[in-house]
Amino acid sequence: MAPGHPRFVHDRNRLTAGGVASGLDAALKLIEILGGTKLAQRVQQDTQYYPDPPVGSDIPSSPAQCPIPAGSA
């Protein structure tokens, strides 16, 4: 796992993401790599994708133990 919970990871010749928003972020990064920053900015403007959520929160820590009792699933 990458430290800091990034939305996408660019490592050497690999670009990985999981989820809808992170996939959009990774797509913009790929466009920037292949076509330059100006093109990536234009695509962002054309798609009206501005990842600034109206609320903020932290990723919760993992529970010390599983909250679902064994055998209940």
Beta-sheet pairing, 8-11 with 14-17: antiparallel
Domain residue spans in the chain?
Answer: 10-47
Predicted local confidence at residue 56, as pLDDT: 78
* pLDDT at site 20: 86
Report how far residue 49's alpha carbon sits from residue 37's, in angstroms, rounded to the nearest whole number.
15
Chain segment 13-54, per-residue pLDDT in tens: 999 888 888 899 999 999 999 999 999 999 999 999 988 766
- Determine whether 12 is exposed, middle or buried from the number of CB atoms within 10 Å of its CB (0-12, 13-18, 19+): exposed
- CA 8 to chain CA centroid, Å, is 5
Most confident of 16-20, 22-26, 58-62, 67-71: 22-26
User: CA-CA distance, 42 to 73, in Å (whole number)?
Assistant: 48
